[in-house]
Structures are given as C-alpha cells and as structure tokens.
Amino acid sequence: MIENTLRAKILTMLDEDINFITEEIALNENSKGMKIFNEPLIGFAKADDQMFNKLKDESIIGEHFRLPLEWFSSGKTVISVFFPFTNRIREENAKIRDWPAPEWLHGRIEGQNFINYVMKELIKELENMDIRAIEPAKDNRFFSRGSSPTDDKLTFTSNWSERHVAFVCGLGTFCLSKGLITKKGVAGRFASLIIDVEIESSVREYSNYDEY
C-alpha cells in the first residue's frame, strides 16, 4: 500500500541527523541533541471531495482558496501529514508564557527544514512508483499573506491551508485558537501532497469543525 510505503519512508527519516538539533546550532544546552518530531499522522481525501469546495466560503477561507484539482488537474488524492513535536519541545514551551521557548523556535525553523526535506524525498519515492505528486505549499502559484494594505479579505490568509486540508483528510478539528486538534495533540506542523493515484479516503470521525 502507498500509505505503508510513505509511513515507512518517514519513519526512516525521523532517525536522521536532520531531525535532531546539533550542538553547533543549539540555542541553549537543553536543545543539544534534541529530537524535533515523533511519528506522524497521515490522512487521505479524494481530490474532488466536496468538503474542499466549502473552504471557498468567505466565512472559512474564501474564493481565493485553490481546490486540489486547480493545483493538479490530474490529481486523485490529497495526502495530509501531521508531524507532532516531541514531548521536550511541548514541555519546555509550556513553562514560558510570554515568549516561545528556544526549543519551540527550533521546532519552527529546523522543524520546517526537516519537513521540506521529507516532502521532497516522498515526492521522489512516489515518482519511483510512477506516481506524480505536487506540494501546493511549494508551488510557485502559492501565496501566503499577513496584513494586506489593499484588500481586507486577503489579510492573514493563503490559497492553500494545511490545517483545513488536514481537517478534510480526517486528521482533526479546530480549537478556539484555530489550531487543529489531532489524536496527537495540537503542537506540531502540517504538510500535504496531491497525487495522481486514488487512495481510499480516511474516515472523518467527526461531523462538526470544532467537535474536539
């Protein structure tokens, strides 16, 4: 199964040096040798799932949200991956109330570098299986904006939302702070791919967007 292949590939990479903080870049003593991510969650949804269309509603994301088939016309399946932070990152950040802990900053910066590496390797793995894949967040059509001086509707938004895609793929529901509550918590980072092979969709074990 493709899911097992992807999971096995990610698990192998979790043990590589790039998923650990080296002494050279550590922001403090506690960060040296720290592992960033634990085993991820993976969810699937059909590229033409009607739930994606609902994200175009202005009360959710808006018309600027690009549907999976607008990114990849041959797409069949959307794959969402949640990379949960290790307990050390979570626990150290919980101790500080007015600023992110150094460990959390490593999760944000070096953690994203790791995810970028993983997604490139997954695309290569899929290509070896004659499966085409794209990563919307790394596509040249992707945009993400903070405050917009010309259009209030395009303030703090993007045309592909990893959290909303994860919701459609069955990985969790939203909390009051707009993060996504997964079976492995909220602390972590998401990534996604669209591929041209159909995989059975994950079961959404919820009916409301804020059920958890």
Residue 75: per-residue pLDDT: 98
What pTM, to 2 d.p., does this model score? 0.94
Give me the count of residues in the chain: 212
Helix (H, G, I), strand (E, B) or coil at 174: strand
What pLDDT is attached to residue 150?
56
For the chain, what are the domain ranges?
Answer: 2-195
pLDDT over 90 percentage in the chain: 91
* pLDDT tens sequence across 173-197: 999 999 999 999 999 999 999 999 9
Residue 173 contacts residue 180 (beta carbons within 8 Å)? yes
Q: State residue 145's pLDDT score.
A: 79
Residue 25 has pLDDT above 70, yes or no: yes
Per-residue pLDDT, 103? 98
Task: Tell me: pLDDT of 81 over 80.
Answer: yes
CB 57 within 8 A of CB 47: no
Decide if 155 contacts 145 (C-beta within 8 A): yes
Share of residues in the chain with pLDDT > 70 (%): 96
Give the mean pLDDT of 45-52. 98
